[in-house]
Structure 1
């Protein structure tokens, strides 16, 4: 559920009109089975392990995996025995209740140890550098359904009266992601087809003004402007339309530096709003308090309407935007 308190929840209690923002977001993600390839490079165990034992990379990883599984199995057996033993002291629980608790506790233990196995395997793969290349992919299906309309106060010109325009900007998209890692570095590729119930405001084709700016520029409907349900007004003709789109993104982190990379994005909109937009970014990763929760910053040059199809009267640098995005994993902190 997505909501903006000021625009979507407060009007329920204040009696004002909805300005949008209350919507239901449904998302399904499917991870596909990944692949790991190993080279012919030999791996020799150190003196603290098994001196003189040499084998290829795949066999070395298999041994490391068996060791992890054996260690976790012993720990799980000890924890399971402790659960059974602790319930044995209870005189109040019936046998059926004890069995239900044991089943629940075992399920919790199983989930925790499966997660630990995955993390330890990944850690060995990363730290030992035994792999030659790896690849995994996933697909996400996303549907956003607005519960409340998004309202805009619109006037086609400074000399005409205001009218309220409403829209339900639903959206649907499918995102297919791929990640490869090999001797050259780490590659990420995404393709995202989608569809949006668009309008002139969302596509930024109208002039957005405050009441004071509207008045200073010679707006005549000042009486209505004071009573408007929104704080901003939009000048020029308002239209609603459907916008199919497809977005491509490629990100590369070189092998010699997995902290700084290059991000290239291209988005093509179709229909009456048929812009071609681009983004060039430089992402860099900052280690968080936990090693597996790095924080990603990206400096971006956003380039809307590259072919000057919507705003031919504006030059490139009048439309370009320089900004910074931040990717913060849930529960992470810098220090």
Structure 2
């Protein structure tokens, strides 16, 4: 398999969240200007929704009916938007702090959201206990809170199993917990920790950094794929090892990880399985090396094809037929010109070719 760029669409500011229609004709992007946008994936025509978050809009999901987009933001709000009118018709205060990531159950009935502020609690700069449950699940039809689960904040990522029965969430320390979504006692059914995704730096400042930024279950639900950035001595440099690992999550057993010599330095923010289960993709931002988007073989974990998009990738997802990958992100941090800001958000479409 290889990736070939088909479309590269510009948005006003960096894109933090991505969703798209099943036919891959339209995408929805949440951005650093607090806004939600609709993007025509063929011609790049962009329309802003009418209501904004009070801070960065961090994520979005499209419900299966195709009529509703739910967005999350650093204001802790969840907003329900009508796709055609672009009006917001429901607001739910999900968190007291930022929403880090959203995940929609496969049947579209449940929305998971993660939060948490990193505040040092001791001389080892370990994160302080959560001030509210770091993982919550909401009913997409009513907006009601269905479940709350405890974790060590901040919780950076979450993902449902393909059958929707389990939810995984991971944090800055590389700790992964998995719950049955109908659990009444709130206890995880599985949990494990990988130290290969976090750093405690002693250069410039003392604090933990990194974490697991992306999670994805294999199509058969047996394997959980994690991605992020490996340990580094200087946490301010952002050049730790580009890292993925695959885990038998029920047993808490690591199956494999990115091979030596196949990675560079930088933060990987997104992972996705090809619908066939034959390959998976990892993408993010590059500090060192020659790629920031790469395909790997599910059979042996080897690198199959890679691309240097020269952009930060925040989300990467295969289309339902597996013939394309849609990505969101940013190029640089914006350049101000006399007549305004240069657009620096990106939504891209890559063809997946044999």
Tell me if TM exceeds 0.5.
no
Who wins on radius of gyration, i.e. which is larger? 1
The normalised TM-score by structure 2 is: 0.26
Q: Relative to total residues, which structure has the larger strand share, 1 or 2?
A: 2
